[in-house]
Amino acid sequence: MDIRKSKNITTITLVMVFTVCFILGIIRWINIFNENVFVITKEINSHITNFTISLMLCTLIGYLLLCYRKKYLTIIIIGLILISTNLIYETILPFINTIDLIDAVYGILGVIISLIYLLFIDKKGFDNSET
């Protein structure tokens, strides 16, 4: 199978994206034990988990698909599936989760940021020279 080779900057930014998401998640969970620790504001803190999970999931799936030379349209379809899943989970499934439209908005924002990032990676993030 033909796999595209990432440029060094792509690898670095990918690690940075996941590191920032993990840090945001850690700060969020530290807040459980210390209410004075929060991400930017207390409002953002209560929704940051959905944002980071959506961003990391879309970025990981999208990056792997791009590595295997899938079209960006495939990534958009994955993003739309994640957005739909997020909306369904946050609005229609109250027996599993508290209905929270703001949480869904944060998840959608995470997917949109991921799609923009993946567009740049698709255009500039891989070594296109034949080896």
Question: CA nearest 68: which of 117, 2, 130?
Answer: 2
pLDDT tens digits for 6-62?
Answer: 999 999 999 999 999 999 888 888 877 777 776 677 777 777 888 999 999 999 999
Tell me the pTM.
Answer: 0.88
pLDDT tens digits for 72-111?
Answer: 999 999 999 999 999 998 888 776 777 888 889 999 999 9
Share of residues in the chain with pLDDT > 90 (%): 60
β-partners of residue 126 are 6
